Amino acid sequence: MVKTGLERLLTEDGFGARVRDRRVGLLVNPTSVDRRLEHAIDRAIDAGWDVVRLFGPEHGVRGEAQDMEGVGEEVDPISGLPCVSLYGSDAASLSPRPEHLAGLDVLVIDLQDIGARYYTYIYTAAFCAKACGEAGVEVIVCDRPNPLGGEVVEGNLVQSGFSSFVGVYPLATRHGMTFGELMRYFQAHEGMACELEVVPMEGWTRGMWYDQTGLPWVMPSPNMPTLDTAIVYPGQCLLEGTNLSEARGTTRPFELFGAPWLDAPALKALLDARKLPGCAFRLASFRPMFQKHGGQTCAGLQLHVTDRDAFRSLTVTMAILQDVMGLHPERFEWRTAAYEFVGDRLAIDLLFGDPVVRHALSDGVAVEEIAELMAEARRGFEARRAGVLVYL
């Protein structure tokens, strides 16, 4: 049974002394709960912490906003505490201003990551920590499990000129680190200067998937309903950079995918012929309720993971993209609209962190070969990563 950093901070005097009699800010969202599903805000107030202010990442403190939807919170409707939104209408909103940190002694961060570098909470935490370092505010990170475990690393690194809020730092796409380990990495290698303490978990080992931890699953964001979603997300999030629907506005986002013009039977035949390990494809029809193709019936597939240890999401999604491009060269498109506050780069290049991958897919390079090239590109990252791991 895993004990999270939040539970240790609340119940163990050795950690709890760091917040006692101090003015506290909380960077939290719906995942910031204990194993009884009681929220960190309520637990902190009950424990007598002097909670001065709340900070909310993308989707907000209570998680009701959709992706890339600016949040304008000022007061938490449940606790009545003042809120600072760290996801507004422009890039400047992603970091707290000095007045947001005024009057604080310590910022406690408790957020659930997904295990893919696109997920923005880790960058919100890093930007907060950097600002706290400048303001003389201590940072305490309550660690939580990586839902995908901590052994497998996939993908490439973000190259210079292609950083964005879905890839601020050169991390591997599936990084295999916990939130606390990521924060240690940013401090050691990305210039995040602050007084940082990571409250580690008890009982977590690197081979654990989330459903082996004994902890309840709370949706980290509106379109991350289950662990199944998280398992396919490192690859399937790439669909955001295309005109294919990733099925936002359905009950199975990222597992379902398609478009009104897609020849789904032909795509299934191509993908089945590849014999991609750990997965199978089912013909499906779905109607997204918003965003791409909102209100339209899409022909598509559902991606079913049959062996999550063998499954490699990035390789699978690259195969999907390559086969759709081959089937529909006249209909398939890369997204050209602004993406995460960046308007002068293709969204797919921001997601891959490197336009070379897009070109390789378009040129028909085998996806297994691309995956091998990605492995070469991240070797330095894996060596740096090894030096900050907490759980060995």
Token reading at 305: 């993971």
In the chain, the number of structural domains is: 2
Q: Indicate whether 167 and 286 sit together in one domain.
A: no
Predicted TM-score (pTM) of the model is 0.96
Under a CB-based contact definition with an 8 Å cutoff, are residues 257 and 243 in contact? Answer: no
Max distance between CA atoms of the chain, in angstroms, equals 64
Query: Of 314, 116, 65, 367, which Cα lies nearest the Cα of 230?
Result: 116
Any domain includes 333:
yes
Q: Indicate whether 164 and 194 sit together in one domain.
A: yes
Token reading at 212: 């082996």
Q: Indicate whether 291 and 164 sit together in one domain.
A: no
pLDDT in tens, 7-52: 999 999 999 899 999 999 999 999 999 999 999 999 999 999 999 9
Domain boundaries, position 137 = 5-216
Give me the pLDDT at residue 74, please.
Answer: 86
Q: Which helix (H) or strand (E) holds 51?
A: strand 50-56
Under 8 Å CB-to-CB from 290, ≥6 apart: which residues? 66, 248, 249
All residue ranges of the chain with pLDDT < 70 are none
Question: What distance in Å separates the CA atoms of residue 327 and residue 99, rounded to the nearest whole number?
Answer: 54
Give me the pLDDT at residue 72, please.
Answer: 75
Q: What is the CATH number of the domain that holds 251?
A: 3.90.1150.140
Q: Indicate whether 149 and 64 sit together in one domain.
A: yes
Neighbours of 365 (CB within 10 A): 15
pLDDT in tens, 54-95: 999 999 999 787 877 777 778 999 999 999 999 998 999 999
Q: What is the CATH number of the domain that holds 104?
A: 3.40.50.12170
SS3 content of the chain, % helix, strand, coil (to 5): 35, 15, 50
Q: Indicate whether 19 and 144 sit together in one domain.
A: yes
Would you say how long the chain is, in residues?
392
Question: What distance in Å separates the CA atoms of residue 57 and residue 111, rounded to the nearest whole number?
Answer: 9
Boundary of a domain, candidates 162, 187, 216? 216
Any domain includes 380:
no
> What sign has the CA pseudo-torsion 346, 347, 352, 357?
negative
Q: Indicate whether 294 and 325 sit together in one domain.
A: yes
Any domain includes 243:
yes
Query: Of 230, 279, 277, 278, which Cα lies nearest the Cα of 252?
Result: 230
Query: Of 103, 107, 86, 144, which Cα lies nearest the Cα of 25?
Result: 107
Residue 42 Rama label (left phi>0; alpha psi -120 to 50; beta):
alpha
Any domain includes 359:
no
Any domain includes 370:
no
Q: Indicate whether 233 and 202 sit together in one domain.
A: no
- Exposed/middle/buried for 274, CB within 10 Å: 0-12, 13-18, 19+? middle
Token reading at 207: 């081979």
